[in-house]
Amino acid sequence: MRSITLRVIPTQEPCEAYMLPVLGFPLQEEQRVEVEYLLSAFCDAAARQFTATSEVFLQLEQLHGKECRKVVADNGRHWMPETGLGVWVDREPPQKWTKEELDNFVPGTKFRPLMFQVFRISSDPYRRKEARSSMLRFGSVLEIITQDGEQYLPKVKPVFLENITDQSYTCFPFYVPLIEAKTMQNASSDNLVRWFNGLTVYIRQSFEDNGILISSSKPLAPVLHALGGKLKNGSWDIAF
């Protein structure tokens, strides 16, 4: 019998946050099997617990390599991806390169990313789960479990548009939050309430953390207990 450990990340109420560390992206096959087992069981249990549905997204900036792009291309007609914008909730809003950045650019270095786009898997729930399963090994999955159903994305659009002043970035059909571990550690309760408005559970494969972030606006103990999880020394151990 093996087990998966979720490390508790300190954060403010009403939220909770956990990190599943990985050895790196793309996932090694043994760890991919473990991660897929956990997230499949966890997302199903969370959806039942909170009477919620899932939205599955692919982070374009984390689609590295020809193989993962081919998987997306081969499944495009089934997954029906829609392009939206990911917004880092604790960073400067997206904006075009400034004249100063262009003037001071050093050859051989990289420009600041202009934006962080995401694909929404817009087809049926079966295809959303299929996309999650197919893309987990590449580290590009972002999943939102919400009790607001199809109203979630229209509801939160004004929240994530609020600080964007460059009109080049105000025309996307939807906006989703981008969050990493330090976001959860450093955020105030007021900000968490604003960012998690309508968002019950948030799951993101995070290159920044070399792991998978799971955060929520509701207690996850009932979900983790349903999976056989046990809280030990600040971490949840889930046997399988």
What is the pLDDT tens value at each position of the chain, 240 positions in all? 678 899 999 999 999 999 999 999 999 999 999 999 999 999 999 999 999 999 999 999 998 889 999 999 999 999 999 999 999 999 999 888 778 877 777 887 877 677 899 999 999 999 999 999 999 999 999 999 999 999 999 999 999 999 999 999 999 999 999 999 999 999 999 999 999 999 999 999 999 999 999 999 999 999 999 999 999 888 999 987
d(CA 224, CA 101): 47
Cα 85 to chain centroid distance, Å, stands at 13
Buried b (16+ CB within 10 A) or exposed e, 62-84: bbeeeebeebbeebeeebebeeb
The pLDDT score that the predictor gives to residue 97 is 79
Task: Count the helix, strand and coil residues of the chain and give each as a percent rounded to the nearest 5.
Answer: 40, 25, 35
| Cβ atoms of residues 120 and 79 within 8 Å | no
User: Which amino acid, one-letter code, is at 84?
Assistant: G
The pLDDT score that the predictor gives to residue 225 is 95
| Cβ atoms of residues 12 and 187 within 8 Å | yes
| Cβ atoms of residues 11 and 192 within 8 Å | yes
The pLDDT score that the predictor gives to residue 1 is 67
